[in-house]
Structure 1
Amino acid sequence: MFYYRQLILINFFLVYLSASSQHSGHLKPFGSSGPFEQIDKLTNDFPDPILFFENYAFKSHPVLFRQVLANDLYLSLWNKDKKLKKLFLNNKEIVHVETRKKESRKQNILTMTMTDFLKRYQSEELYLVEEVPKLVRPYFTLPKCLQCEPAIETFQVAMLWFSSGNTSSVVHTDDYDNINCVLQGEKQFILIDPHTYKHVASQIIDNPSGSFSSIDVDRVNYDKYSSLDNDIHYYQVNLTRGDCLFIPALWIHQVRSSDRNIAVNYWLNHARVKNAVINQNTCELLKQSNLMTLDTITWPKELSNLEGLQDFMFDLIDEGATSFKDWTREFSKDLNFDLHSNTGIITLFAEFFNMIDTNENGFIAVNELELLLDDNNNMTAAFEILQDIVNLIEIKSGKDVQSNNQNIDEILSGDETEKDDDINLKHEDL
């Protein structure tokens, strides 16, 4: 009898082992077991815009810029909180602060001044994620690989990331191209090429409305995410103070930080990157300067009508508004007109919706929007249909279309971006 029970336990154990993943990374941190690809590395300075766009941005290829900020004029500002507390002492600008260092898309977001944040972040689980505050924009030099007119036109916004360390992000993708620079501490990036491993992106990004994964980044379950098999190669990139990393749009990645950690990332509008004309005729390379700081250029860039429409549609998917009924309701709200109240208008809107809903299942997903954006002709045609809808609404409302018709960008984009206030700071105060 005892021998029989032993056999049952052995068989149960063998069945358990056969059902459980044998991947070396099972229940370990995301990407920690490799295997790894080697990333391109450039040292000491950014490449000029022509080389950067031709070799990396246009090709959707990541690159590590090692110690490109080592001689930056303002890097020492971030060495100690004492300087920052002095700088922000009387500043009332509000910043947004996450309340979990292990990222959750459902966490509470606090608002406070930088002074309050600097008092609290070392003793609380706080992570500042905010556009670079206006007060310190004079101390951020635009990367030289963006310093020519058509390259600057791709720059959308700069974000500041600030914590006491030990943060970890979800596995996710971004619609923007990204240059991430570490000002203090260390960061580790794990990247997967979505072009080589398309099946991975389609499985693990299981929250497509927010372009992120439900994977526990500390204990990856390879039974649940079977596409992360032994054939998947990762890029593991470790950054320290003065390093920058270019992450192309839509690349799968996960980020960890250690120690007191401060970074800035420069978002580039991916559509503008793809369409940028960067060559010796358009880029005056001799005009590159350490003095081209964020306060000297206009940002965020004003979106075109098409870009405004793109952002609005992605926002709808982020909010879960994916069905025809949902989209009709949301567009009715923003156009201030019930689309169902007019047969011609709702018919046009159905044509607009069906142009995006390529699999004809009555729902719009992120990948369908991305297909639309990759086809300039279809995107333009969709925009023109929506413009026709706006014109009909104006006529139905008894307004003069020529004099009163707002463009779609104005209707859908909300409040206009405020212009930066003038900043009068003395660099010697640092």
Structure 2
Amino acid sequence: MGVSFAWIFGLVVVVISEGPDFDFSNRLGHMRELGWGGPTLPVEEIHDYPDPETFYLRYSKGNRPVVIKGGARVSPAFSKWTDEYLSSIENATNEPVLADTSGKKTQFWTFGEYLEFYKKEKLYMVYSVPKALRSDVHLPPPLRCGGYEDKLADTVMWFSNGGTKTVLHIDDVDNINCVFSGSKEALMIEYPKYKDKVKLDPRGGYSNVDVDKVDFNQFPEFSEIEYHVAKIESGDCFFMPLKWFHVIRSYERNIAVNIWYKPLEQFNRSDCEHLDSKPDPPSLDKYFFKSEDGAYTQDKWPQRRENDEKEEEDDGPPDDLREYFSNMIEDESSSLTLVGLVSQMRRDKKLMSPGIRWISEMDDIAAQFFAVLDSNSDGFIYKEEIYLISPENEEKLEELASSLEDYLDMQKKDQ
């Protein structure tokens, strides 16, 4: 605490300021759950989707979160997605998914294995919706025209047996999250208002605060913040504007699907005059999500040149890893998710030469590639992140490429 003196109209005034040694432990909420005891503001609830232009003006452009009560009920997934039903879709059960274990280790499973073990092993799946299940999920009505279809980034399934929570973090995209089973609570902090107060880890878009036990002496900023709280029940959808700080807690058997998309710069009203030409029903399998497939093709494999003459390349990992991963992303405004990175590597004929199988160890290496490239840990890789990669992380990429080559060589020896 700092003490200073000032003369005001002939009086001595003592000014007390909170210095670096100030004790914040007496503040309400110290060592309690984030938001406990702090001023909280309710999030608006509506009982029907607004039309796309109203949604754009009031919520997306207006930077306002909203809960759409009953919004998830428009999708068949709300009534169909029992464990028994999900296990019966053979094309889905064979798809690889990524999940965290109770020991916080991330690994790949088939979706069928996940369904078998998620309750026993306390698994938490955060991964792109299996393609065989996308016909059960409808694109939320406000996104069906106006230009949103060209901004779709990814669709992710959040699946657990409950009791999960996220860290406090931000996303660089707008988000509509629909809950098909269980319930969620979203604790949010308005980004424009508090962007200079809430400190994020320099390695990514998240805070190091313990959301279950906030130490105000270590993180005093959280004692002086307003919180927005939303309750999302089964059958509801929830819109969160980009970059709002948030923590999501999930309860009971919990399945949700969210749509990440880039915000519109301007609403295209004329696009809504042609709704008859839009997909009907508007299921997710009929839409293109940029971060999954990118624009990488075999002719973009990085080529080495010497004296302007193309050399013959060996099979295996590329020499220029930055160029290789950058070519997976269409342009500066597009992005790549983990599932997109894995799917492109698996389809890469240069990497997966005849006789080479994609094995689980290669899934792990791909996940590590992604973790190194995703510098802000927001679940997306952008070209800029690849361009700005540090020398230290570039060495990590080379080490991973070497490990990948070892697995390829072992398979070649067995042929």
Task: Give the TM-score, by structure 1 length.
Answer: 0.63
Alpha-carbon separation, structure 2, partners of 1:277 and 1:175: 19
- Correspondence for 2:17: none
Alpha-carbon separation, structure 1, partners of 2:335 and 2:113: 37
Inter-CA distance 69–99: structure 2 relative to 1 (3 Å threshold): same
Deviation of 1:286 after TM superposition, in Å, equals 4.7
Matched, 1:235 2:224: no
Alpha-carbon separation, structure 1, partners of 2:227 and 2:259: 23
Alpha-carbon separation, structure 2, partners of 1:47 and 1:198: 29
Deviation of 1:90 after TM superposition, in Å, equals 7.7
- Correspondence for 1:225: 219
Inter-CA distance 213–100: structure 2 relative to 1 (3 Å threshold): farther
Q: 1:160 aligns with which of 157, 160, 165?
A: 157
Alpha-carbon separation, structure 2, partners of 1:25 and 1:329: 38
Alpha-carbon separation, structure 2, partners of 1:118 and 1:286: 37
- Correspondence for 2:136: 139
- Correspondence for 1:216: 210
User: What SS class does the counterpart of residue 70 from structure 1 fall into?
Assistant: helix
> Mapping of 1:295-374 within 5 angstroms?
295-300=285-290, 302=294, 304-307=330-333, 315=373, 317-318=375-376, 326=390
Q: Is the 8 A contact 2:118 2:124 kept in 1?
A: yes
Matched, 1:191 2:188: yes
User: What SS class does the counterpart of residue 147 from structure 2 fall into?
Assistant: helix
Q: 2:97 aligns with which of 95, 98, 102?
A: 95
Matched, 1:52 2:42: no
Q: What per-residue deviation string (whole Å, max 9, x for no partner) do you get for residues 196-221 of structure 1?
A: 122322x2x2x132211111111111
Deviation of 1:179 after TM superposition, in Å, equals 0.6
Aligned partner of 1:291: which letter? P
Deviation of 1:67 after TM superposition, in Å, equals 1.2
Deviation of 1:255 after TM superposition, in Å, equals 0.8
Matched, 1:283 2:283: no
Alpha-carbon separation, structure 2, partners of 1:187 and 1:56: 20
User: What SS class does the counterpart of residue 195 from structure 1 fall into?
Assistant: helix
Alpha-carbon separation, structure 2, partners of 1:60 and 1:293: 27
Matched, 1:68 2:65: no
Alpha-carbon separation, structure 2, partners of 1:171 and 1:330: 28
Deviation of 1:152 after TM superposition, in Å, equals 0.9
Q: Is the 8 A contact 1:151 1:276 kept in 2?
A: no
> Mapping of 1:19-30 within 5 angstroms?
19-30=23-34
Inter-CA distance 235–57: structure 2 relative to 1 (3 Å threshold): same
> Mapping of 1:244-263 within 5 angstroms?
244-263=237-256
Aligned partner of 2:78: which letter? L
Aligned partner of 1:56: which letter? Y
Alpha-carbon separation, structure 1, partners of 2:193 and 2:172: 18
Q: Is the 8 A contact 2:191 2:243 kept in 1?
A: yes
Aligned partner of 2:331: which letter? N
Q: Is the 8 A contact 2:139 2:282 kept in 1?
A: yes
How many aligned residue pairs are there? 300
Matched, 1:115 2:112: yes
Deviation of 1:233 after TM superposition, in Å, equals 1.1
Inter-CA distance 299–41: structure 2 relative to 1 (3 Å threshold): same
> Which has more strand, going by share of residues?
2
User: What SS class does the counterpart of residue 282 from structure 1 fall into?
Assistant: helix
Alpha-carbon separation, structure 1, partners of 2:156 and 2:335: 23
Aligned partner of 2:87: which letter? K
Deviation of 1:284 after TM superposition, in Å, equals 2.6
Alpha-carbon separation, structure 2, partners of 1:291 and 1:175: 29
Alpha-carbon separation, structure 1, partners of 2:388 and 2:41: 43
Q: Is the 8 A contact 1:165 1:259 kept in 2?
A: yes
Inter-CA distance 159–89: structure 2 relative to 1 (3 Å threshold): closer
Inter-CA distance 289–24: structure 2 relative to 1 (3 Å threshold): farther
Q: Is the 8 A contact 2:66 2:239 kept in 1?
A: yes
Structure 2 residues without counterparts, runs of 5 or longer: 1-21, 295-328, 338-369, 378-384, 399-415
Q: Is the 8 A contact 1:199 1:227 kept in 2?
A: no
Aligned partner of 1:306: which letter? E
Alpha-carbon separation, structure 1, partners of 2:61 and 2:74: 28
Inter-CA distance 88–128: structure 2 relative to 1 (3 Å threshold): farther
Q: Is the 8 A contact 1:48 1:285 kept in 2?
A: no
User: What SS class does the counterpart of residue 50 from structure 1 fall into?
Assistant: helix
Alpha-carbon separation, structure 2, partners of 1:59 and 1:150: 17
Matched, 1:172 2:169: yes
Inter-CA distance 261–304: structure 2 relative to 1 (3 Å threshold): same
User: What SS class does the counterpart of residue 159 from structure 2 fall into?
Assistant: strand
- Correspondence for 1:150: 147
Aligned partner of 1:292: which letter? P
Alpha-carbon separation, structure 2, partners of 1:34 and 1:227: 12
User: What SS class does the counterpart of residue 113 from structure 2 fall into?
Assistant: helix
Q: Is the 8 A contact 2:74 2:138 kept in 1?
A: no
Aligned partner of 2:114: which letter? F
Structure 1 residues without counterparts, runs of 5 or longer: 1-17, 102-106, 335-430
Deviation of 1:32 after TM superposition, in Å, equals 2.7
Deviation of 1:309 after TM superposition, in Å, equals 8.8
User: What SS class does the counterpart of residue 188 from structure 1 fall into?
Assistant: strand
Alpha-carbon separation, structure 2, partners of 1:150 and 1:322: 28
> Mapping of 1:7-26 within 5 angstroms?
19-26=23-30
Moved more, 67-76 or 24-33: 67-76
Aligned partner of 1:75: which letter? F
Task: Give the TM-score, by structure 2 length.
Answer: 0.65
